[in-house]
Amino acid sequence: MLMAIDVGNTNMVFGLLEGEKLIGSFRLMTDANRTSDEIGLIACQYFRRFNLTTDQISDIIIASVVPQVMYTLTSAMVKYFGKKPIIVDEDVSSGIYYEGEDHLGADRSVSCVAAMEKYGKPLVVLDFGTATTVDALDAQGTYLGGCILAGIRVSTDALFHQAAMLPRIELICPQSVLGQNTVSQIQAGSVMGYIGAIEYLIRHTKEEMGCGSEGKVVATGGLARMIADNTKLIDVVDGQLILDGLRIIYERYKKEQNRQ
């Protein structure tokens, strides 16, 4: 069984995969102050709860955008599972290349790998996390570029913290743009306004790609379903995209090793 770990700015998602099948998953809050023992013991509790054993794990692969937690996370995997994790962009490449001095975040490149494998090309891949990202891939699988904007929760939390009279709100899409109270008005502006921004980015991304109506728009991340339910421009919501991408990269890595 493969353990795939997606380390995001808000949560770490642990997925247990037997071939293409996701056996189970759990998540921990991403916390740089958490010790390796805390991570290891919590993970072991999950295994005991579902009658699994740590020796069922054959390998571990990690994609991370939070370098500060990697030492303790890696130490926990070695100590409690007896496996040195394979790290995307350190031990193995995703195969997605990004022109310029910066490199594409591991979560984004892994999502692109999975989306191409599962849904074909060309593609627009959206990830609704702490930040929302948009990535474009052409019919040959070449990475064309993308954009980053603050996630919807980050945006509404900033409004709450910076405006003394405005409350923190539940993220739901209201029935009308014209709210009748403060909460519904913030929801209308924040949620419906965000959906409008996403639709604008999708349209212009496809225009710049020159793919017309071809190519699917695939979304992942915690708020992907809410956004997709309120627009016709998102074709697929896949909450397992990064875990599947990690599995695909791992399988390619093992095949390459076996050929050597």
Measured distance CA(69)–CA(81) in Å, rounded: 17
Please identify which of the residues 107, 127, 238, 244 carries the catalytic annotation: 107
Q: Residue 43 in contact with residue 164, Cβ under 8 Å?
A: no
Measured distance CA(131)–CA(144) in Å, rounded: 19
Closest by CA position to 52, among listed 18, 19, 77, 76: 18
Measured distance CA(27)–CA(61) in Å, rounded: 15
Closest by CA position to 66, among listed 106, 7, 109: 7
**Integer angstrom CA distances of residue 131 from 22, 126, 128, 152, 192:** 25, 10, 7, 8, 17
Question: Is 107 tagged catalytic?
Answer: yes
Closest by CA position to 173, among listed 213, 241, 216, 226: 226
Closest by CA position to 195, among listed 203, 163, 143: 203
The separation between CA 234 and the C-alpha centre of its own chain, rounded to angstroms, equals 16
Measured distance CA(91)–CA(59) in Å, rounded: 13
Active site residues: 107
